[in-house]
Chains A and B, each alone.
Chain A
Amino acid sequence: NAGVTQTPKFQVLKTGQSMTLQCAQDMNHNSMYWYRQDPGMGLRLIYYSASEGTTDKGEVPNGYNVSRLNKREFSLRLESAAPSQTSVYFCASSTKSTSGRIQYFGAGTRLSVL
């Protein structure tokens, strides 16, 4: 049972380069999320997708784009990377249980922008 899979695990970019972070879940969840984690800041929501074909901005969307390719996949794109985007990125998916939505997280991608 793979759960939420993120690729790559590590990436180093130069300022101005572009890249896409991939996320896939095999739990048939409708909702998916992208967060970033910075030291001393906790996790902050970048974008989310409540269902296939829909995406919405979170708390810190500037400099990012997302694509909900299908129900399984939700990608995050940096068009022109900046040093301020150096962070650890987490993808999550969620399902509704009898106790509300529970989010399951991927292992994270550590991104450094030089």
Chain B
Amino acid sequence: AQTVTQSQPEMSVQEAETVTLSCTYDTSESNYYLFWYKQPPSRQMILVIRQEAYKQQNATENRFSVNFQKAAKSFSLKISDSQLGDTAMYFCAFMKQGGSEKLVFGKGMKLTVNP
């Protein structure tokens, strides 16, 4: 079974600064995908970024980028130029390729961006 661990329950950062959220996972699978989802106070789950395990290049989406270390089973999210609207819960998630392709989530991390 796969597990996803987010060891930092809570972080805060000043507006315009950079912050990195950590995530590690455990799997024996070779083919899989990794995701970061954001959940603002509205409760909506919003996809931030995704990474295919077979790709060595780290994914980027505007101010969001990941550091994917496959051998270390690490998948951290870097948020640059933090904005007040980035305040949310952030969830790291794992999906095995093939079969049901269901998501396995970490417990989440609360990020607060301060003005």
Contacts and interface: CB of A to CB of B under 8 A. Distances in A.
A41 interface: yes
Chain A binding site: helix, strand, loop or mixed by DSSP? Answer: strand
B100 A50 contact: yes
B45 A90 contact: yes
Contacts of A79: none
B50 A100 contact: yes
A100 B100 contact: no
B55 to A, nearest CB: 9
A43 B44 contact: no
Nearest to A107: B44
Interface in A58-112: 58, 88, 90, 92, 94, 99-105, 107-108, 110
14 contacts: A31-B100, A31-B101, A40-B107, A42-B106, A42-B108, A43-B45, A48-B100, A99-B50, A99-B52, A101-B101, A102-B47, A105-B45, A107-B42, A107-B44
Interface of A: 31, 33, 35, 40-45, 48, 50, 56, 58, 88, 90, 92, 94, 99-105, 107-108, 110
